[in-house]
Amino acid sequence: MRLIPIYTWNKGIRNFELRRKKFLHRPWAQGVILLGCVLLAMLLANLPFTREGYRSFLETAFNITLTTPGGSQIVFPRGMTIEKFINDILMVVFFFTVGLEIRREIAHGELSSPRKALMPVIAAFGGVLAPALIYTLVNHGTAAAGGWGIPTATDIAFAVCILSVLGKRVPVSLKVFLTALAIADDLIAILVVALFYGGNVQFLPLLIAAAVIAFTLLLRRLGEKRIAIYLTLAIAVWVLFYYSGIHATMSGVVMAFLIPATPRYGKSYFDHKWQLYLNRFREYEEPEGVFPSGPQRHCLRKLDELATGSMDMSYRVEHALSDWVNFLIMPVFALANAGVEISDLSYFNVFHFDAALGSVGMGIFLGLLLGKPLGITLTSFLAVKCKAGEMPAGANWPMFFAVACLGGIGFTMSIFVDTLSFGDQLPEVTAHMRDAGKIAVLLGSLCSGLLGTVLVGIFSKGRGPKCAQDCDE
């Protein structure tokens, strides 16, 4: 009888672990976790008994202080807080995986040929230019004018989450199109951050970083495959970018394109060694009741090393980091950046306009809700009419517009750009505009998701069998 509670406890742990793994492999899991972190951050920032602790925790210094023999102190990294650690270090890993994903799609995926890439790339440019234009028209000549980059991004996690919920009502070709568009959109957003939202550039660290990057390229050309060396060089590039004035997250993108994309072992070597160790494994006999034996374990280790070395480093790194990024770094980013202290309800009035400050909320909200779908749809329509692109199979223009509305879900990248904007204003003005911008991003993303979902439901009526056939294909 004493063993029953232990058995039940162990069984409960195993069942919990099984359910956890099933949940994490759902396409909508990341979106659900991110949404939960947004709500939690809003609560922490506004409840009376957590408000002060939440803000003071994020502003806590987070650096290493070294004292020299002479008594002077060296602080590294300078000015680092927990919030900056999340935005300037953890987000480097996010941008690194984004860079790996973009590189993979360019090499083998939806952006691998001009014919495949042209339509989503054209649509992505339209989805960037139209929101930026709407924001600029609203805020031209005001203090808020510098935030034009905020509504230009698409959050792939939430978009894929909604598409997975919609299921077979959306043709699979449109799902692939939106994913490719979001990847191209990420690349454009990276360029926007690098070119327009960095600080004052210090050229000496930048020149040293260029030398390190050139050295990395040389190592890759010489066939270096050890990941520890690339990791060390990536850290060096991050430090140099951090002190150069270019936003440190860009170092992640740069290094992603420098990671070797060729496997350590070729196909002929893999076939030869695989058969060799497999035959040895079969020849060894294990004692009765013991499997595997010592020699068999040696063969299994060699087979495991062979399988690992036959996959390119960029794939292995992306696979190893994906869960950490999706289920740790992104939720932590949401917890740190989505918590807006709402002192009054004016933040939710996105259409409020001030002659001097402009309207961050109106520019972002209209840019996401209207600019994104209109820009994506109009540029795609022109591309099809000019025969520069092809309409996704099984789709029509109403359904295309409905899916384009999901492109207005900005969230992650939009909030990230918001944290970089308005730095040349007074601190209290900057804080106010950034908070108003975050609320507008959340509202615009929510409304875009709802609008896209409703329109998909409307336009998919009467198309069930055809749409289901498209998805099965």
Instruction: Kindly report the CATH number assigned to the domain that includes residue 193.
Output: 1.20.1530.10
Establish if 69 belongs to a structural domain: no
The residues pairing with 469 across neighbouring beta strands, listed in sequence order, are none
Q: How many CB atoms are closer than 10 A to CB 174? A: 25
Establish if 89 belongs to a structural domain: yes
Residue range(s) defining the domain that contains residue 289: 267-309
Specify whether 302 is located in the same domain as 394.
Answer: no
Chain mean position to CA 88: 14
Specify whether 427 is located in the same domain as 327.
Answer: yes
pLDDT score for 16: 66
Among 301, 289, 307, 356, which residue's Cα sits nearest to residue 144? 356
**CA gap 161, 419 in Å, rounded:** 25
Specify whether 463 is located in the same domain as 408.
Answer: yes
Per-position DSSP letters for 389-453, written without gaps between them: S-PPTT--HHHHHHHHHHTT--THHHHHHHHHS-TTS-HHHHHHHHHHHHHHHHHHHHHHHHHHH
Burial readout 217-246 (b: 16 or more C-beta within 10 A, e: otherwise): eebbeeeebeeeebeebbebbbbbbbbbeb
Of the CA atoms within 13 Å of residue 189, those in its CB half-sphere come to: 31
Establish if 128 belongs to a structural domain: yes
**CA gap 87, 84 in Å, rounded:** 5
Amino acid, single-letter form, for residue 144: A
pLDDT score for 122: 92
Establish if 237 belongs to a structural domain: no
Among 260, 258, 261, which residue's Cα sits nearest to residue 213? 258
- Give the length of the chain: 473
Specify whether 176 is located in the same domain as 303.
Answer: no
Establish if 152 belongs to a structural domain: yes
Q: Helix/strand/coil (H, E, C) string of 27-73? A: CCHHHHHHHHHHHHHHHHHHCCCCHHHHHHHHCCECCEEEECCCCCE
Specify whether 336 is located in the same domain as 304.
Answer: no
Specify whether 296 is located in the same domain as 362.
Answer: no
Specify whether 253 is located in the same domain as 271.
Answer: no
Residue 337 contacts residue 90 (beta carbons within 8 Å): no
Q: Is 58 exposed, middle or buried (0-12, 13-18, 19+ CB in 10 A)?
A: buried
Q: Where are the alpha helices (DSSP H) in 197-329?
A: 203-221, 227-244, 250-256, 267-283, 294-309, 313-324
Specify whether 393 is located in the same domain as 274.
Answer: no
Q: Assign residue 394 a region: left if phi > 0, alpha if psi is -120 to 50, beta otherwise?
A: left
Q: Which residues, including other chains, have CB under 8 Å from residue 466's CB and lie 6 or more apart? A: 394
Of the CA atoms within 13 Å of residue 46, those in its CB half-sphere come to: 15
**CA gap 445, 256 in Å, rounded:** 28
Specify whether 256 is located in the same domain as 400.
Answer: yes
Specify whether 335 is located in the same domain as 276.
Answer: no
Q: Assign residue 289 a region: left if phi > 0, alpha if psi is -120 to 50, beta otherwise?
A: left
- Main-chain phi, psi angles of 81, to 5 degrees: -120, 175
Establish if 334 belongs to a structural domain: yes
Residue 206 contacts residue 244 (beta carbons within 8 Å): yes
Q: What is the pLDDT along the chain (473 residues), one digit of tens a residue?
A: 455 555 565 666 667 667 767 777 776 777 788 888 989 998 998 898 898 999 899 988 887 776 767 667 676 677 788 988 888 888 888 888 888 887 887 777 766 777 767 888 899 999 999 999 999 999 998 888 889 999 998 887 777 778 777 778 888 888 888 888 888 888 888 888 877 876 677 888 889 999 999 999 999 888 887 888 988 998 899 888 888 877 777 888 888 888 887 787 888 888 888 888 888 888 887 666 677 778 888 888 888 888 887 888 888 888 888 888 888 998 998 898 888 887 767 777 788 888 777 889 999 999 999 999 999 999 999 999 988 888 887 889 999 999 999 999 988 888 888 888 887 776 778 888 888 898 999 999 999 999 999 999 898 875 544 444 444 44
Q: Assign residue 155 a region: left if phi > 0, alpha if psi is -120 to 50, beta otherwise?
A: beta
**CA gap 340, 437 in Å, rounded:** 10
Residue 185 contacts residue 117 (beta carbons within 8 Å): no
**CA gap 164, 26 in Å, rounded:** 9
pLDDT score for 362: 92
Total domains in the fold of the chain = 2
Burial readout 12-48 (b: 16 or more C-beta within 10 A, e: otherwise): eeeeeeeeeeeeeeeebbbbebbbebbeebbebbeee
Establish if 391 belongs to a structural domain: yes
Specify whether 343 is located in the same domain as 291.
Answer: no
**CA gap 90, 324 in Å, rounded:** 10
Specify whether 255 is located in the same domain as 271.
Answer: no
Establish if 426 belongs to a structural domain: yes
